[in-house]
Chain A
Amino acid sequence: MDDTTMERPLREGERLVELDVRTQDVEINMGPQHPATHGVLRVLLRADGEILTGAQSHLGYLHRCAEKIGESVDWLQYLPYTDRYDYLSAMNNNLAYSLAVEKLLGIEVPERAQYIRVILAELNRICSHLVAVGTYGLDIGAFTPFFYALRERELLLDIFEKICGARLTYAFIRPGGLMNDAPAGWTDQVRAFTDLFERKWREYWDLLVDNKIFVERTANVGVISEEQAIAWGCTGPMLRGSGVDWDLRRDQPYLVYDRLDFEVVVGQGYRGTVGDCFDRNYVRMYEMLESNRIVRQCLEQMPEGEIQHPEVGLVLRPAPGEAYVGIENPRGELGHYLVSDGNKIARRLRVRGPSFSNLALAEHLLPGCMLADAAAIIGSVDIVVGETDR
C-alpha cells in the first residue's frame, strides 16, 4: 500500500505529510573471511537491525574437483584425496572410500584390520566432535573450552601419529586393509586415553554445555523438526538431534559394529525443544562417550592376525560394476558411489558428503533469528567447508 494515501478524507486543519525517512534492510556478507563460518563459507545475510530477514549460503570457495580427480587417478592413488574432504575426520573418509572399493572388488578384510579400523574411526569421531564442541564454544563466545578440547585431541593425534606417522591426513585405512599393523604399545596408549577421556569429558560438560549462558544461547534456537530433518536429507548429529533414531553403524552395520554394544544418542530436548542447537551439541557430547565405549570393547575383542587382504595389491582392477557404500561419519552419512569398467581408473566417482546436505537446511533456519544466532546455528550444523565444496 502506498503510505501517502489515506482512506478517510482530511479533516479541518489536517494536512498530509510525506515521510522521507524509511528503513531498509541491511545486506551483509558473513564470510568468506569471518571468524564464525568455520572456513570459507559465505552467507549473505539480510537483516532488519539485529533480526535476520533472509539468508543465502554461497559455496565453492574451496572447490578442488575431488570427484573429477577420482576419475583420473588410480583407485589407490585417490585415497589421499579423501583425507581432504573433511579434514577433521580423515580416518572415516579413508574408511568410507576403502569400503566402497572393497565392495566393488568383492572382498572382506581380515578381522584384525576390521577391529583396528573401528578403533581408528571411533577415535577419529571423538577427535572431530572435540573440535566441533570446542569451536561451537568459540561461536557462542566461550574461548576456554576450545583449549580444553584441543588438549585431549592432542593425545588422540599422538595416537594416530604413532600408528601411521601423520596427524591430520592419514591415508592409513586403504582398500584391502591397513597400511601397517599397530606398533607395540599402541593399544596400551589407546586404553589409557579411554580411561582418561571419561573424566575429562565431565569438564566440557560442566564448563561449557551445562553453563547457564550457553543453555540460554542454544536452547530453542534453530529448531529443526523431525520431518524437516528427514526431508532435507540431514544425517548424523543434525538428524539425531531432531529426535530421529537413525545411525548407519547400527541400522546398516559395516565392519564389526554388529558385534559391539553401543547406544545411538538421540536429541531429548534436554534444555529446550527437540531439535534445537543445544540438542545437536548434546548428541555430539554423548556420542563421544559412546565412541569411547566402542573403542574399549574393540580393544578387548581384537584378535591377532593379518591386517591386509592377500589378493589386494597396489594396482586394482575391479570387475565392471558399481557400488555404493555409506558410512556414519562424525558429521553424518559419507557415501561413495563408484562405477568401474574393469580399468585401473574409476569410470565414475561420486561423493555424498554430510556437510553439504546439512548446510542446505541451515540457511532456512536463519530468517527470524537474531544476528548472534546465525553464528550459533551455523556452528551447530558443524560443517567442514572442505567437504561441502570438495
Chain B
Amino acid sequence: MSALLPFAAAGNGLTDWLAGLFPAGVPFWILGLLGAVIAFALIMVFVSVLAMFSTWLERKVAGHIQVRYGPMRVGGWHGWAQAIADGVKLLIKEDIVLADADRALFKIAPCLVLGAALAAFVALPFGPNAIVADLDLGVFFILAVSSVTTLGVIMAGWGSNNKWSLYGAMREAAQVASYEIPLGLSLMMPVMYYGSLSLHRAGEMQADWFGLHWYVFSDSFWLAIPSFILFFTAALAETKRSPFDLPESESELVAGFHTEYSGIRFSFFFMEEYAAMYLMSAVGTAFWFGAWNFPGLELLAGSALYAPLAVTVFVVKSMILVFVMMWVRWTVPRIRIDQVMTMGYKYLTPLCLILVFLASVWEWAKAALTGA
C-alpha cells in the first residue's frame, strides 16, 4: 500500500476525511500513514469477502449452467459456507516450495500478483464519497497497477521450474501485452465524454435525470455500446477469463502458471483473479453504467440511507458484470493463442482506433455546437 502515500498528497477521499477528524497541525505524514493502514485493511477485507462470495457464486453459476446444483451441503442453505471451508482448507494445507524452484521468485510472485490487484482498488469509487484516493488519473492508475500482475505471473511461471508453468507465463505476457492496447483505447471513449480520467468524476457526471445521464443512455450511446463490448472483450483477456484463459488453460497446460502452487500461495492467485474481475467490472460500471447512480436513488440524497444504498448499487452493478464473465466462461470453448493474437491486433485494436476517431469528432462537434 506504499503506493498510496505519494498520491495522498493530492488531498482526497480518505485523507481529507481523516484530516477533518484531527485538530489542525497534525503532520501530514501521520495522516497519510494512518490513511494507508485503514485503506489497506478496508480493501483487504473487501477483496477477501468478495473472493469468497465470488468463488461460491462461480460454483453455483457453473452448477446451474451445467444442469446440476453446485455446492449444497456446507452451511445448510445452498452451501453458503463452502467458500469458508475452501478458504480454511487452503490455509491449513502444506506450503510446498519445490526443491528446484527459484525460491525467491516463487515466493514473491503470489504477493506481487495480489498486491498489484489490491493497489488498483485505491482509485476505485464505491459511492459518492467512498473512495480511498480520488486520483485525477484514476483509470490510468488502475490500468497501470493492474498490469503489474503480469509481472507476478511471469515470475511464478519462471520460478516454478516447470515447462507448463513457463508456457502459461509466456502466454500471459503475450496476451496482456496485446490486449492492454484495446483495453486502454476502449476506455478513451468514456474518458472523452467525461473529459476526465477519474472514475469518481464519471460517477458524479452520470447523476440525476433518472439514469438518462448514464453513458450508455447519453447522446453518445452509439459510441458507448460498441466501446463497452470492446472493453469487455479486452477485460476478459486481461483478467485471463475464458475464452481467453490460455495462461492457465487446463486441458493444454495442466494449470498453467500456478501448476506448482498450493495452499495459501495458490489462494493468492485465486483471490487476484476475482479481484481483477471485480476491478474490471467496476471500471465498466463506473464509466458506462452510471456508477453508483440508480433511477430514483437521487431522491434520497442528503438522507443517511443514501451513502450505503449508493455503495450497494455500485457493488451489485459490478457483480452483475462479474456474473456475465462467469456466464461466458461456462458457455464457450477456449480460443487458440494465434487466434487470441489475431483478434487483438487485427480486429480489436483497429476497431478501437476507429471509435476513438469517431468519438473525438463527435465530442468536439458537441462542444463546438453547445459552446461549452
Using a CB–CB cutoff of 8 Å, the interface residues on chain A facing chain B are: 26, 28, 34-36, 49-50, 137-144, 146-148, 151, 207-208, 211, 213-214, 216-217, 370-375
Check if B335 is an interface residue, CB within 8 A of chain A.
Answer: yes
- Cα A378 to Cα B254 in complex, Å, equals 15
Quick check: A142 and B337 within 8 Å, CB to CB?
no
Q: Is the CB of A144 within 8 A of B330?
A: yes
Contact of B251 among A141, A147, A148, A370 (CB under 8 A): A141
- A240 to B65 CA separation, bound complex (whole angstroms): 33
Q: Which of B66, B242, B245 contacts A147 (CB 8 A)?
A: B66
A217 touches B333 (CB 8 A): yes
| CB pair A217 B335 closer than 8 Å | yes
A241 to chain B, nearest CB (A): 19
Using known A-B contacts A35-B251, A144-B65, A147-B66, determine if residue A370 contacts B164 with beta carbons closer than 8 Å: no
Within 8 A of A (CB), among B232-286: 242-243, 245-246, 249-252, 254
Give the interface SS of chain A, mostly helix, strand, loop or mixed: helix
Q: How far is the CA of A370 from the CA of B167 in the complex (A)?
A: 12
* Contact A26:B163 (CB < 8 A) given known A34-B254, A142-B333: yes
List B contacts of A34 (CB < 8 A): 254
Any A CB within 8 A of the CB of B67: yes
Q: In the complex, are the beta carbons of A147 and B334 less than 8 A apart? A: no
- Give me 8 A-to-B residue pairs in the complex whose CB atoms sit less than 8 angstroms apart, sorted by A's number: A35-B250, A50-B167, A137-B333, A141-B333, A142-B331, A216-B339, A370-B337, A375-B251
| B68 CB–A CB distance under 8 Å | yes
On chain A, the residues within 8 Å of B252 by CB distance are 36, 371-372, 374-375
- How many pairs of residues, A versus B, come closer than 8 Å at their CB atoms? 79
Chain B 315-337, CB within 8 Å of chain A: the 1/0 string?
A: 00000000000000011111111
Query: What are the interface flags for B214-228 relative to A under an 8 Å C-beta threshold, 1 for contact and 0 otherwise?
Result: 000000000000000
Contact between chains at B67 and A151 (CB < 8 Å): yes
Alpha-carbon gap, A216 to B242, bound state (A): 15
Residues of B within 8 A of A148 (CB): 66-67
Check B212 for interface membership: any CB of A closer than 8 A.
no
Residues of A within 8 A of B330 (CB): 143-144
Ranked 3 nearest A-B pairs via Cβ: A141-B334, A147-B66, A142-B333
Do B249 and A140 have beta carbons less than 8 Å apart? Answer: no
**Closest chain A CB from B108 CB (angstroms):** 25
**CA A375 – CA B335 in complex, angstroms?**
12
Q: Is B62 an interface residue (CB 8 A)?
A: yes
B337 with A28: CB separation less than 8 A: no
Choice from A146, A207, A216 contacting B335 with Cβ under 8 Å: A216
B100 interfacial by beta-carbon distance below 8 Å? no
Interface presence of B94 (CB below 8 A): no
Contact (Cβ within 8 A) B67 A147: yes
Q: How far is the CA of A333 from the CA of B164 in the complex (A)?
A: 36
> Besides the contacts A138-B251, A141-B242, A142-B332, what 13 more A-B pairs have beta carbons closer than 8 Å?
A50-B167, A50-B337, A140-B251, A144-B65, A147-B66, A213-B334, A216-B335, A216-B339, A217-B335, A370-B338, A371-B167, A372-B252, A373-B336
Interface pair A144/B337, CB less than 8 Å apart: no
Bound Cα distance from A170 to B67, whole angstroms: 28
Determine which of B66, B333, B339 lies in contact with A211 in the assembled complex, contact meaning CB atoms within 8 Å: B333
Asked whether A214 and B66 contact (CB < 8 A) given A35-B250, A371-B167, the answer is no
Question: Which residues of chain A come closer than 8 Å to B164, judged between CB atoms?
Answer: 28
Q: Write out the residue numbers on chain B whose beta carbons fall within 8 Å of the beta carbon of A141.
A: 242-243, 245, 249-251, 333-334
* CB neighbours of B339 from chain A (8 A): 216-217
A213 (CB) vs chain B CBs: closest residue: B333
In the complex, what distance in Å separates the CA atom of A362 from the CA atom of B339? 23
CB proximity of A102 to chain B, nearest CB, Å: 41
Say yes or no: A214 contacts B336, CB within 8 Å: no
Instruction: Name the residue on A nearest B253 (C-beta).
Output: A371
Most B CB atoms within 10 A — which of A35, A140, A143, A151?
A: A143
